[in-house]
Chains A and B, each alone.
Chain A
Amino acid sequence: MTPLLEQFMSEARDVLQGISEKLMQLEAEPNSRETINELFRLVHTLKGNSGLFEFPEMTRVLHAGEDLMDAVRDGRVNYSQMLADRLLDAMDFVNLLLDEIEINGEIGTNHVQHGLQQTELLRQLLGTATAKTVENSGATVAKAVKKIHKKLPNMASLVALPEAQRMALYEQSISVNTLHLVQYVPEHECFFKGEDPFFQARQIPQTIWHSVQAVEPWPVMAELDAYCCNLEFQALTATSPDDLYELFRYTPEQVSINAVPAIVMALPSGEPNGGPVYGDFVVDALALLEAGDIAKLINVSNTMLELHSPNLWLSSALRWLLLVLKLEPNNHSAQRILIESFNHLVAPNWADLTPNVEIESLEEVTVAATLDTEVVTNVATNDDSFALNFILQAQRQILHLPDSDTWLVGRLNSVAATLTAIHINAGRQDVLPTLQDALAEALTASTAAPLLMWLDDYAMQANTPALNAANKVEPGVVQGKLVGEVLEGASLSQNVATRLDINQNEASTDIDADMKFGRRSEDSYSAPKTLKVDQVKIDILMNLIGEMVVAKNSLPYLAGLAETQYGVRELGREIKSQYAVINRIAEEMQDAIMQVRMMPVSFIFQRFPRLVRDTSRKLEKIVNLVLEGEETEADKNIVEALADPLIHIVRNSLDHGLETPEVRRATGKPEAGKLTIRASQESNRVYIEISDDGKGINPDVVKRKAYEKGIIDEATMERMTDQEAVNLVFAAGFSTTEIISDLSGRGVGMDVVRSAVEKVNGTVSIESEVGKGTLIRLSLPLSMAITNVMIVESADQAFGVPMGMVVETVRVPKSNIRTIKNHKTMVLRGRIIPLLSLNDLLAVDAPQLANENEELAMLVVQINNESIGILVDEFRETVDIILKPMTGIIGGLGGYSGSALLGDGSVLMVLNLKELF
């Protein structure tokens, strides 16, 4: 899943939540303009976003929703309960699609139909939202979806296909109904949408029969509009409907896909041999068929077949008759039609037979949709019967449990309730009184036996339609009998039954809410993968883990106590081993919480393209921005703290660093300047480099300006290296605009940048070469939470010094220390190092203590690229601490960056050495 899609998913869920909330609000106050506007905006946003991806079903439904809300907003359609219901349903559908995307990464084609229904339901409200359509919505939808074509086309041209092939197809589709008729009527304007319907139609796989027709009769050539599509494509295919839905995913409303009875293949062909002369045979055969003497009919037909040349039309028809008799023995109407065709030697037009079937079925559906009980029973599919049997079986098992249980009464009641419910659903209210009696009996006798008996009796009733259906193996036969009064052909009805099934589903969307997409919205709640958590909560966690670390650090002290004070070495060792475990867990916890707080630097990088574009436009410069390492992560606070300094640096680069195209051309550079922002991570630090290929900083100019400004004296100016001069841009006071704006270097507010970066324990450095460009490098800690400090002692107090500053620790013999101009110094490995005593720095009136060898402890620290030796009394261990900034009165105290709790409960003050000098 791409990050974009991930974001869409999480946003979409939020928006869906918002939509349902707004709908609820609207329910309370239907006329609130504000809520309606908000609702429209939400749906509109979601639709727009979904359009970024290939989710045509989702976009289509949302588009309909948007149109509807637009109409509501304009007052063209009034808000109604039903409108809310449909919108909610549609949003449930979208949610379902989101689930599917989450699991599979895409939307399956099985949703195409649902999507269409949802769209249709929403569109209905838009159009003639009269009471009538509302009442019959289910049935109208079924018709609307099918409105493209109700009639099977005449597929006489199928005869062109070799008979053997057609017979194979026939056999194949008798068992599994694989034949489908695709009817595709592209919309008139489709050419203007870049569609080629003919190409689309040709993509239908495994086509057996094709037809292209004009929807309206063709006008005379001069009046023909070639760019208005007037075509209708039809094809008979043996491919699965899923593939077809996939193919027509973007235009499902222009396509109807219907199963076609296998019998359409039965088209006899061959030489007529002098015309129809088989009257006797026809009469005999029909009589046999009427009498149900199929065996004899087969015999007679076989004899006929042997008597005639296989090339004859008659033989072909006989072969078909035999095949139909074998495979669809109950399809009498088809058999009759085949036999009757012998009279005129014309292949039967199965289309004449099938339309009746469909019209009947549609009427049936309407009845089913409105009356619901009896008819539904009749069309109960095998699946239903199976489920019914399954439920009955389960009830039986429950009743067989021992009667002694105390919850017998509840059990009996629940079984009775289940049985009642399934019988009501099966339309068998007639059996309910006896069930009630059985229940009453069972309850009084405190035994399950009466109910069990009732269940057995019930199972005996073989005439129960649903059960009957379940017991039979041939679905076609049974269903044929049920719906079959309309037609005699039992096998044809197999197809009808499947169609009915489809239609019925469509018709009853509104009536039976539970049937929608197979699950209810409340069932389909899927836990979101991302949590939005208030940062405060994370901070609390952070503090807690900090305390945990402190508490954990007290265990070694405890172990030491046990050993030294109480003399129990064993216990001390035990505590230490426990400490190791707790230590590991605490560290992992710490890491985990850090991870939670991490966020990619792309968060701040993403605003740069726009910033660079706008600024360079204003400055009339051409700049190519290159962003690298956007996925680098750092603590949220660090990333946020970076935002302002980075913008500052980028502006500076654009304004002062990069030259105008004319200047660049004159100096032989490409016209477009290059600005690179690169983030990378190295161990526990994040580096951000901003480099440009502009004119760089001229150290001489900087020096002179600094001197003029009084930041440096003449002597300093003389001995300054170029690098030191460039670093001057960070000096406070150097960056007053009126001086700098004329200057060819940069420097506006660079001290602000530096202090912002240093606030989060970062450093900033700058490298520049005149004419080549400038590189500014920020180095930041990954996280601010844990600081590694070295503990030093001075005047009987412990102080922490951030490890990042410590270069080394050295023991210096007192004799090595020289005093130059009242300043203590020493030579360490050939370098002169100024020495400062910590007691002096902190204004403690005590000399630094030396050890027995007359050596002083010296901490060499690096400050602003200079090494300084700090004399302390003693070094101690390094510890990880959670640095708490000082608050309240001591918050204003300089020289300290904060405090931390140590494992033994004491407070450690952490020095901010930079502030001390």
Chain B
Amino acid sequence: MAITYDKKLAVFQEAISIEEADGLMEWLIKTPKSKIDLTQCQHLHAAILQVLMAAKPVISAWPQDENLQAWLASALNHNNGE
């Protein structure tokens, strides 16, 4: 599993494929105030990205991958407590 769901935290690991989109959406809907840990994430599919953009969860940790972080920052920044 590329996404490990904890109580309020979803941990993304390596590449997240489009297959995870349904599960993630479900989890985001039934888990308000959810947080996402992207530290180990290498890439996430555009479908996952738009789910995150629409759900606006709190990003508790940004990815180590700089390029990914730069892109995600522009997409998800409004959730980052700013």
User: Using a CB–CB distance below 8 Å, which chain A residues touch chain B?
Assistant: 157, 186, 190-191, 196-199, 201-202, 207, 209-214, 218-219, 221-222, 224, 226-227, 229-231
**Which residues from B are CB-within-8-Å of A191?**
18, 46-47
Knowing that A210-B70, A221-B28 touch, tell me 18 more A-B residue pairs with CB under 8 angstroms. Answer: A186-B46, A191-B46, A196-B45, A198-B43, A198-B71, A199-B43, A201-B71, A202-B67, A210-B73, A212-B72, A218-B53, A221-B25, A221-B29, A221-B54, A224-B50, A226-B25, A226-B48, A227-B18
Pairs across A and B, CB under 8 Å, 15 listed: A157-B74, A191-B18, A196-B18, A199-B46, A201-B71, A207-B70, A209-B74, A210-B74, A212-B49, A212-B53, A212-B71, A212-B74, A212-B75, A221-B29, A231-B53
With an 8 A cutoff between CB atoms, is B11 at the interface?
no
> Which residues B32-54 have CB closer than 8 A to chain A?
43-51, 53-54
Give A190 to B70 CA distance when docked, in angstroms: 23
**Which residues from A are CB-within-8-Å of B2?**
none
B25 near A198 with CB under 8 A, answer: no
**Which residues from A are CB-within-8-Å of B45?**
196, 198-199
With an 8 A cutoff between CB atoms, is B55 at the interface?
yes
Give A210 to B68 CA distance when docked, in angstroms: 10
B47 near A229 with CB under 8 A, answer: yes
With an 8 A cutoff between CB atoms, is B21 at the interface?
yes
**Which residues from B are CB-within-8-Å of A157?**
74
A235 nearest in chain B by CB position: B71
A197 near B46 with CB under 8 A, answer: yes
Give A198 to B65 CA distance when docked, in angstroms: 15
- Nearest first, the 3 closest Cβ-Cβ pairs linking A and B are A212-B75, A198-B46, A218-B54
B70 near A224 with CB under 8 A, answer: no
A234 nearest in chain B by CB position: B74
A226 near B70 with CB under 8 A, answer: no
**Which residues from B are CB-within-8-Å of A210?**
70-71, 73-74
Give A186 to B50 CA distance when docked, in angstroms: 13
**Which residues from A are CB-within-8-Å of B28?**
221
**Which residues from B are CB-within-8-Å of A224?**
25, 50-51, 54-55
Give A230 to B50 CA distance when docked, in angstroms: 7
**Which residues from A are CB-within-8-Å of B50?**
214, 224, 226, 229-231
A226 near B21 with CB under 8 A, answer: yes
> Which residues B52-82 have CB closer than 8 A to chain A?
53-55, 67-68, 70-75
B22 nearest in chain A by CB position: A226
A231 near B43 with CB under 8 A, answer: no
Give A207 to B29 CA distance when docked, in angstroms: 34
B54 near A219 with CB under 8 A, answer: yes
User: Which of B21, B43, B49, B53 meets A227, CB within 8 Å?
Assistant: B21
**Which residues from A are CB-within-8-Å of B47?**
191, 226-227, 229
B17 nearest in chain A by CB position: A196
CB distance from A249 to the nearest CB of B (A): 18
Give A229 to B74 CA distance when docked, in angstroms: 18
**Which residues from B are CB-within-8-Å of A229?**
46-47, 50
A211 nearest in chain B by CB position: B74
CB < 8 Å A-B pair total: 75
CB distance from A220 to the nearest CB of B (A): 8
**Which residues from B are CB-within-8-Å of A196?**
18, 45-46
Give A226 to B47 CA distance when docked, in angstroms: 6
**Which residues from B are CB-within-8-Å of A199?**
43, 45-46
Interface residue count on the B side (C-beta < 8 Å):
26
**Which residues from B are CB-within-8-Å of A202?**
43, 67-68, 71
A209 nearest in chain B by CB position: B74
**Which residues from A are CB-within-8-Å of B75?**
211-213
**Which residues from A are CB-within-8-Å of B44?**
198
Most interface-central of A202, A207, A212, A230 (chain B CB within 10 A): A212
Most interface-central of A191, A196, A211, A230 (chain B CB within 10 A): A196
**Which residues from B are CB-within-8-Å of A197?**
46
Give A67 to B66 CA distance when docked, in angstroms: 44
**Which residues from B are CB-within-8-Å of A186?**
46
**Which residues from A are CB-within-8-Å of B48?**
226
Cβ contacts B1-41/A at 8 Å (1 or 0 each): 00000000000000000100110010011000000000000
**Which residues from A are CB-within-8-Å of B68?**
202
B71 nearest in chain A by CB position: A210
Give A198 to B54 CA distance when docked, in angstroms: 15
**Which residues from A are CB-within-8-Å of B73?**
210
**Which residues from B are CB-within-8-Å of A221?**
25, 28-29, 54-55
CB distance from A234 to the nearest CB of B (A): 8
B29 nearest in chain A by CB position: A221
CB distance from B21 to the nearest CB of A (A): 4
Give A221 to B45 CA distance when docked, in angstroms: 18
**Which residues from A are CB-within-8-Å of B74?**
157, 209-212
**Which residues from A are CB-within-8-Å of B21?**
226-227
Give A209 to B70 CA distance when docked, in angstroms: 8
B47 nearest in chain A by CB position: A226
**Which residues from B are CB-within-8-Å of A226?**
21-22, 25, 47-48, 50-51
Most interface-central of B22, B28, B49, B73 (chain A CB within 10 A): B49
Give A191 to B29 CA distance when docked, in angstroms: 22
B72 nearest in chain A by CB position: A212
CB distance from B65 to the nearest CB of A (A): 9
Give A214 to B78 CA distance when docked, in angstroms: 13
Give A230 to B68 CA distance when docked, in angstroms: 19
**Given A221-B25, A226-B22; A198-B49 close (CB under 8 Å):** yes
Give A221 to B28 CA distance when docked, in angstroms: 8
Give A201 to B70 CA distance when docked, in angstroms: 12
**Which residues from B are CB-within-8-Å of A190?**
46
CB distance from A820 to the nearest CB of B (A): 90
Give A230 to B51 CA distance when docked, in angstroms: 10
A194 nearest in chain B by CB position: B18
B46 nearest in chain A by CB position: A198
B67 nearest in chain A by CB position: A202
Give A519 to B79 CA distance when docked, in angstroms: 54
CB distance from A823 to the nearest CB of B (A): 88
Give A186 to B21 CA distance when docked, in angstroms: 18
CB distance from B35 to the nearest CB of A (A): 16
CB distance from A623 to the nearest CB of B (A): 41
CB distance from A359 to the nearest CB of B (A): 26
B18 nearest in chain A by CB position: A191
CB distance from B8 to the nearest CB of A (A): 16
B43 nearest in chain A by CB position: A199
B49 near A231 with CB under 8 A, answer: yes
Give A223 to B67 CA distance when docked, in angstroms: 31
**Which residues from B are CB-within-8-Å of A207?**
67, 70
**Which residues from B are CB-within-8-Å of A222?**
29
Give A211 to B28 CA distance when docked, in angstroms: 23
Give A209 to B46 CA distance when docked, in angstroms: 18
CB distance from B63 to the nearest CB of A (A): 12
Give A211 to B70 CA distance when docked, in angstroms: 9
CB distance from A460 to the nearest CB of B (A): 57
Give A186 to B49 CA distance when docked, in angstroms: 14
B21 nearest in chain A by CB position: A226
**Which residues from B are CB-within-8-Å of A201?**
71
**Which residues from B are CB-within-8-Å of A218?**
53-54
B70 nearest in chain A by CB position: A210
CB distance from B36 to the nearest CB of A (A): 14
**Which residues from A are CB-within-8-Å of B25?**
221, 224, 226
A229 nearest in chain B by CB position: B46
A197 nearest in chain B by CB position: B46
CB distance from A211 to the nearest CB of B (A): 5
Give A209 to B77 CA distance when docked, in angstroms: 14
Give A409 to B22 CA distance when docked, in angstroms: 83
CB distance from A699 to the nearest CB of B (A): 65
CB distance from A214 to the nearest CB of B (A): 6
Give A425 to B74 CA distance when docked, in angstroms: 48
**Which residues from B are CB-within-8-Å of A230?**
50
B44 nearest in chain A by CB position: A198
Give A229 to B47 CA distance when docked, in angstroms: 7
A213 nearest in chain B by CB position: B75
Give A226 to B51 CA distance when docked, in angstroms: 6
CB distance from B45 to the nearest CB of A (A): 5
